[in-house]
Amino acid sequence: MRVLVVEDDPDLNTQLKTALTDAGYAVDVALDGEEGHFLGDTEPYDAIVLDLGLPKMDGLRVLEAWRSEGRKMPVLILTARDRWSDKVAGMDAGADDYVAKPFHMEEVLARLRALIRRVSGHTTSEITCGSLSLDTRSARVAWDGNPVKLTSHEYRLLAYLMHHQGRVVSRTEIIEHLYEQDFDRDSNTVEVFIGRLRKKLPDNLIETVRGLGYRMASPQSVGDGN
């Protein structure tokens, strides 16, 4: 999953990037509204954390511009403005949720998880596919109750496929949602990580759709692990 953080306070920006990276996200950052608007308008993100009090372009204007341009990614706004009217203005501009400063980092993480789950149609922190379970809260994966050890990139790939199970996901889409903007992207790495996941999970779990990409097998075809 790939997230954009738009926050002009350098320390808070760094704290958010570190916490989100540790939680398993690929994270891009921007320190002003103009850069944030550009990235949100040109890169595919699974969610965006957006401060309202930004230099160069106010966060509210950034959000309104994204929505008017048809950008539908979930946006969590951060605001030091504690008046209810400011919060209403943010929601009316197209925000999906908000957190008031100062905040606990765990709250930001929890709200982001909820937004991403909601967009992909999942209602709880645990996503399942047959006997495979992925807990987005703890970033733990288990097959038939047994823990599966994954690297950070393997986890990101599996999490994206499980959030979008039942849909064919192309290599290009995977690359766009697994790596930060400045990462040296190579489509061959997707095949490598798919191969690694298949060695750690049942063979029939990740299907190759020739010429199109990959798809998580349906829970019925995966079975109960017995």
pLDDT per residue over 150-171, tens digit each? Answer: 998 899 899 999 988 888 999 8
> What mean pLDDT, rounded, does the chain reach?
88
Portion of the chain with pLDDT greater than 70, in percent: 92
Question: Which residues on adjacent β-strands are paired with residue 206?
Answer: 216
| Residue ranges of the chain assigned to CATH 3.40.50.2300 | 2-120
Tell if the pTM clears 0.95, that is, is over it.
Answer: no
Inter-axis angle of helices 84-92 and 59-68, nearest 10: 20
| Residue ranges of the chain assigned to CATH 1.10.10.10 | 126-222
pLDDT at site 225: 45
Average pLDDT, integer, range 3-11: 97
CATH of span 126-222: 1.10.10.10
Phi, psi (degrees; rounded to nearest 5) at 113: -55, -45
- Distance (Å) of CA 155 to CA 79, 130, 151, 177, 202: 31, 18, 6, 13, 16
- Distance (Å) of CA 171 to CA 125, 139, 176, 184, 215: 26, 23, 9, 15, 11
Coil, strand or helix at 77 = strand
Question: Top-level CATH class of 2-120?
Answer: alpha beta
Per-residue pLDDT tens digits for 20-61 = 998 889 999 999 999 999 999 999 999 999 999 899 999 999
Question: Which residues on adjacent β-strands are paired with residue 196?
Answer: none
Distance CA(19)–CA(25), nearest Å, equals 9
